[in-house]
Amino acid sequence: MEKVSILQFRRDAEAVIRKVRRGKSLILTYRGKPVMRLEPIQDRVINPDDPLYTISKHAVPDGRSITNEEIDEIVYKG
């Protein structure tokens, strides 16, 4: 994966961003050490049945907060 230093990014951020927009992933380095990955954001179609977007239908009517364990059950085991 191509590396880009902070200095290169500061000097020509537009060129770096153009590369990422064309689909290239880059490693941003600081003093020669990798610190982050620059990646294009993929368009993602969200399924209307995605558990995260339907969690409100699992609300508890008595006003009690839903627990983390209950959320995990709904989202990950749904």
Predicted pLDDT at 49: 76
Q: What is the dihedral of CA 46, 48, 50, 51, to 10 degrees?
A: 150
Q: Which H or E run includes 15?
A: helix 13-21
Domain boundaries in the chain? 2-38, 45-78
The answer, yes or no, to whether residue 16 has pLDDT greater than 80, is: yes
The per-residue pLDDT of the chain, averaged, comes to 86
Predicted pLDDT at 70: 81
Residue with tokens 């200095």: 7
CA 68 from chain centre, in angstroms, equals 21
